[in-house]
Amino acid sequence: MKLPRNLNGSSLADVLCRKWDYRLVHYQGSHIILDTQTPEHQRISIPNHNPLRIGTLNSILKTISAHKKVSKQDILDSL
């Protein structure tokens, strides 16, 4: 699995809202705050950077995949 190196934070947040049941809560400085209620409550913070650093992106994908019980590749395929 190769992570995209040109993905920005707002694009990732947009995909998570459209396809993974997250919703925009608010902006906190340069971060986008999203939350979901499925399967239970989770709130995540995504830096609105262009591009996202690889380690940051990997950490966000790891958190979401554990919460949604899917693979990181499933999330990447929806980008």
Q: What pLDDT, in 10s, does the model give residues 23-33?
A: 999 999 999 99
HEC profile of the chain: CCCCCCCCHHHHHHHHHHHCCCEEEEEECCEEEEEECCCCCEEEEEECCCCCCHHHHHHHHHHHHHHHCCCHHHHHHCC
- From residue 26, give the alpha-carbon distance in Å to each of 1, 29, 45, 46: 31, 10, 10, 11
Pick the CATH number of 9-74 from 3.30.420, 3.10.400, 1.10.3470, 3.30.920: 3.30.920
pLDDT at residue 1, as a whole number: 80
With beta carbons less than 8 A apart as the criterion, state whether 76 and 1 touch.
yes
pTM for the whole structure: 0.92
